[in-house]
Amino acid sequence: MAIRLGLSLPQARQYDLGRDVPDVARTAERIGYESLWVYERALFPDPPTQGLGGMEGVPWPDHYRAVPEPLVTLTLAVAATERAELGTSVLVAPLHGPFQLAKSLATLDAASGGRVVAGLGTGWSTDEYAAAGVGPFAERGRILDEIIDVCRAVWGPDPVRYEGRHLRIASASVGPKPARPLPILLPSFSRKAMLRLVDRADGWMPIAMAGPRQLEEEWSQLRDLAAERGRTRPIRTSVRVNAQYTAKAYDGSDRAPFQGSVDQMVEDLVAHAGIGLEEFFFDLQGGTRNAQELKDVAAELYEKARAAGI
C-alpha cells in the first residue's frame, strides 16, 4: 500500500496569508497530496530568553517570526479544499482555553465534512506559556491531559458534563459536533509522553530527523509499550519531515536526512518507506522563496516519490 503524502501550508513571513494559503492548499490537493498541515509558534522572543526547543544556545529560525494563528490558517484551507485532511502539527494545546479549543476543532471538522486531525503537544517555550498559557509551564503535561478529556467530552453526546482541575461543565448542549470521531495525535519524546499516547490518543506524530534506524527503533518501542498496556486498537502514524530544500544537490557526506534536492529527499523517503509508517508530510516552506516555488517543488516531490514506488 502506498504511503500517504502530505504538505505543510505556508505560514512563514515571505508568504501572503490570505492569498497563498488557499492557493497552495488547492494546488496541493490537485497534485494529489492527501493531507495539509499547520504548526504553531505564538511569539518570537526578541532577544531570545531560551534556545530553540529549550536547547541552550540554539537560535530560533527567522521564519518563526510572525507565524499566523494555526486554526485561522487552517480555516482558509478548509474553504479551499474538498478531500485533503487538515491537521495541526502541532498545536501547543496548553496555550488555548480547553473548552474553546474543543469547540473550535469541532466546528472546523463539521465545516470540512470530517477532515480535521488534531495534532496536540505541550510545547517547550516558557515565553509562550508566560504570554498565553492557561497554567504554569511545569504543569503542561497535566494540562494537556485535561484538554484531551475536555475534547472527548465536548465532542461526545449531549448533555456534556465535565469536572476537572481547571474547568467545570455542569450540563450543557454543545455544538456543532465533529462530523466523525476526531482523531488526536501526539508526539512522544519520553516514556511519560509515550504512555499518554498509548493510553489516551489515536495516533503518533514523530519527526523524521535522525534517519530511518532511529525512527524504526522509536516505532518499535511504542508498539511494545502498546502491547504491554493491552492496547488493541491500531496506532495511526503521521511523520513530520522538516525538509531543507536546496535547488542543487547537497554534496556533503554529512548530509542530514531530507536535506538537499528533491531527488535526495525522495531517496531519503524511500529509505524510510520500509518502517511501516502510514504517512509522511513535508514542510518545505523554509527553503522556498514564494508560493509559486513552493508549489513547483511540492509537485516535483510528489511526482518523483510516486514514480519511486512510494
Per-residue pLDDT of 220-241, as tens digits, reads 999 999 999 999 999 999 999 9
| Rounded Cα gap, residues 52 and 67, in angstroms | 15
In the prediction, which pLDDT does 135 show?
92
| Rounded Cα gap, residues 161 and 140, in angstroms | 23
Backbone angles phi, psi at 63, to 5 degrees: -75, 0
In the prediction, which pLDDT does 1 show?
55
Backbone angles phi, psi at 202, to 5 degrees: -95, -25
Output the nine-digit C-alpha cell for 60.
Answer: 530560533
Point out which residues pair with 236 in neighbouring strands: 203
Residue with cell 491537521: 87
Does pLDDT of 307 surpass 90?
yes
Local structure of 144: helix, strand or coil? helix
The mean pLDDT value of the chain amounts to 95
Inter-CA distances, 57 with 49, 107, 126, 204, 209, Å? 10, 40, 15, 29, 20
Does pLDDT of 64 surpass 60?
yes
Does pLDDT of 254 surpass 90?
no
Does this model's pTM top 0.85? yes
Please enumerate in sequence order all residues whose Cβ is within 8 A of that of 217, keeping only pairs 6 or more positions apart, or say none: none
The sign of the CA dihedral 30, 79, 5, 261 is positive
